[in-house]
Structure 1
Amino acid sequence: MKNNKGFKNIIEHMQKNLILYSITLLFLCIGIVLGMYTVKYMNENQRSRLMDYFINFLTNIDLNKINNKHIFIEAFKNNIAIILAIWFLGLTMLGIPIILIIDLIKGFTLGFTASFVINVLGSKGLLINLIAIFPQNIIYIPCIIIASAIAMEFSVILLKHNVSLSVKNNNFIQIASYSTMFLLIAGFMIIGFLLEGYIIPNVMKLIV
């Protein structure tokens, strides 16, 4: 019941803060495009070195020895760190620019990785993107967008009303509500961690 209420709150939040969501999505898309263009306009020396490293990695990897638990933990640490950073920045009055930079970097990483894999492996790279890169990011990206918009809204409220985080201003209730939304987002991201850690490696084994 609480989860349904949480999702309903997120939908209402999206409707009320369409501009914030649009800005977040814009920065994410700019990052993706920049990542793709970075691959396209890399000089031959850089491209060759990265291609050699990537192909060597694919050649020597032993799918039967993949540590699923380790991948799960790394996915958890990397993405929860992003969510925690966004949560913390939302508690400040000047966190919005840094939140948008985080979105930009996330988009850049995704765009660069997807574009580079296709650039190196061609049609096989497209298959790897569809199987190994996109599934978990279908979970991660919406979560990061929602978290960014929630944090920016909270930061705007602090800035607009010049609110200090103190007991006198009765802000602990607001912070608790704000933090609960992030806990819900982090909980939903566990689906992505499971995909990345356990399901995708096993699918890759079957394909190989």
Structure 2
Amino acid sequence: MSTNTLMSKINKHIQENFWLYIVSILCVFTGIILGMYSVKYMGEFEQNDLVNYLTSFIDPSNANGISYKLIFLQSIKNNLPVIIFLWFLGLTIVGIPIIIIIDLLKGFTVGFTFSFMISGLGKSGIGIAILGVLPQNIIYIPCIIFASVVSMEFSIMLLKDKFNKQWTSSITSRIVYYSLIFIVIIIFLFIGIIIESYIAPYFVKNLINNLGSVSK
């Protein structure tokens, strides 16, 4: 498939599902804003606990160093089930409300993490947030949005077919095509997982070492 054909299909998909993209994007960004504001209203005790945990985790004097393999496995555990669950929800016909909640939660997690690092660690937190949180989420967020839209689109298609009584043998080929799209999404997701596991921690480690210590 040529690049022009691929771009044409992507543009067509966006045009046909414009409002689904709007809904998904709005949910993610609403979640980000809610996550950022939730840090502001955290109790001092809870915030101090999290700051102490975070500073001990990224302390340059920590003899154990960074376990890239552990981060990799945790990143898979945190992200892969979400995409698989979105795939499943697209097959359920009634999964759209849950898809919207997943988008909100993903946005909330990103917003909370980013805001907490800046709020809890001050100037050092800005660099850590930019290098440690932002890079992989440049991949994750589009993957979540695209997977959400594809899932909602498929769910709506199944619902229309059911009401119109148009269930045919072609449903199997549609599910296969739908699943192949999710396999492609998972491939892109793993780019984000590799960034989160091996690239972002390396840059954060160098930043912490250059700063000498994490302080406000």
Q: TM-score, with normalisation over the residues of structure 2?
A: 0.86
Aligned length: 207
Map of 1:92 onto structure 2: 92
Compute the displacement of 1:139 (Å). Answer: 0.4
CA distance in 2, matches of 1:63, 1:5: 52
CA deviation string 1:142-163 (max 9, x = no partner) = 0110000000011111112217
CA deviation string 1:70-89 (max 9, x = no partner) = 22222123211110000000
Map of 1:181 onto structure 2: 181
Compute the displacement of 1:112 (Å). Answer: 0.5
Q: Which runs of 5+ in 2 are unaligned?
A: 210-216
RMSD over aligned Cα atoms: 2.5
Distance change (3 Å), C-alpha of 1:46 and 1:205: closer
Map of 1:124 onto structure 2: 124
Whether 1:140 aligns to 2:127 is no
CA deviation string 1:90-112 (max 9, x = no partner) = 01110000001011111111111
Distance change (3 Å), C-alpha of 1:67 and 1:46: closer
- Report matched runs for 1:1-208 at 5 Å: 1=1, 8-59=8-59, 62=62, 65-162=65-162, 168-207=168-207, 208=209
Residue identity over aligned pairs, in percent, reads: 46
Distance change (3 Å), C-alpha of 1:203 and 1:154: same
CA distance in 2, matches of 1:162, 1:3: 35
What secondary structure, in the 3-state scheme, does the structure 2 residue paired with 1:65 have? coil
Distance change (3 Å), C-alpha of 1:144 and 1:104: same
The amino acid across from 1:93 in the alignment is I
Q: Which runs of 5+ in 1 are unaligned?
A: none
Say if 1:91 and 1:154, in contact at 8 Å, map to a contact too.
yes
What secondary structure, in the 3-state scheme, does the structure 1 residue paired with 2:133 have? helix
Distance change (3 Å), C-alpha of 1:61 and 1:114: farther
CA distance in 2, matches of 1:80, 1:103: 15
Distance change (3 Å), C-alpha of 1:52 and 1:77: closer
What secondary structure, in the 3-state scheme, does the structure 2 residue paired with 1:42 have? coil
Say if 1:6 and 1:184, in contact at 8 Å, map to a contact too.
no
Say if 2:51 and 2:121, in contact at 8 Å, map to a contact too.
no
Say if 1:63 and 1:201, in contact at 8 Å, map to a contact too.
no
Q: TM-score, with normalisation over the residues of structure 1?
A: 0.89
CA distance in 2, matches of 1:76, 1:7: 29
Say if 1:36 and 1:115, in contact at 8 Å, map to a contact too.
yes
CA distance in 1, matches of 2:133, 2:24: 21
